Structure 1
Amino acid sequence: MNISQAVIRRIEELCRERHLSINALSNISGITQSTVNDIMSGKTYNAGIGTIKKLCDGLGLSVRDFFDSELFSNLEQEIK
């Protein structure tokens, strides 16, 4: 799994836990729906840390908590 896939899965996981749709996450995070859709579809391969921070703020958790998941433990090497 690469970092983009892990971010998508983590967002999906957190939204499920909080019973939020992707649209609701967009609204509470102050991020445009198109940006969130691009992240979730994989169109945006590398979501910026500022965007991740806004998503975390909307979800009510820290960036550290966002990345504190097994999803990020065994990522593929990005530089080959």
Structure 2
Amino acid sequence: MDKQHSELFKERLYSYMREENITLNRVATLSGMATTTLSNIVNRGSAPRIDTVYKVCNGLGVSFHDFFDFPPYNEVEK
């Protein structure tokens, strides 16, 4: 993931956190990963690995497809 995609991941993660009223620490716990992993992605702009994205999706109870179902990912090219 490049910088743009990392930012989109972070924005989407925050969106789900607001919806569920949960903290980054809780997402990490639900996802079975260290809080520092998510903290590095959010605060340092580190690009999440694909397995990390899947863990976050599982922890949030959302499919990978639904997690990325927002513009620009769901826009149809014309």
Q: How many residues align?
A: 73
Determine what percentage of the aligned residue pairs are the same residue.
29
Q: Offset of 1:63 from its aligned partner?
A: 0.4
Give the 3 Å change call, closer, same or farther, for CA 26–71 of structure 1 in structure 2: farther
* 1-structure distance, mates of 2:72, 2:16: 12
Equivalence for 2:29: 27
Query: CA contact under 8 A between 1:22 and 1:36: conserved in structure 2?
Result: yes
Equivalence for 1:48: 49
For residues 1-80 of structure 1, what are the structure 2 equivalents within 5 Å? 2-44=4-46, 46-70=47-71, 72=73
Query: CA contact under 8 A between 2:30 and 2:59: conserved in structure 1?
Result: yes
Q: Offset of 1:31 from its aligned partner?
A: 1.2
* 2-structure distance, mates of 1:71, 1:25: 24
Runs of 5+ consecutive residues of structure 2 not aligned to the other structure: none
Runs of 5+ consecutive residues of structure 1 not aligned to the other structure: 75-80
Task: Please report the TM-score for the alignment, with normalisation by the length of structure 2.
Answer: 0.84
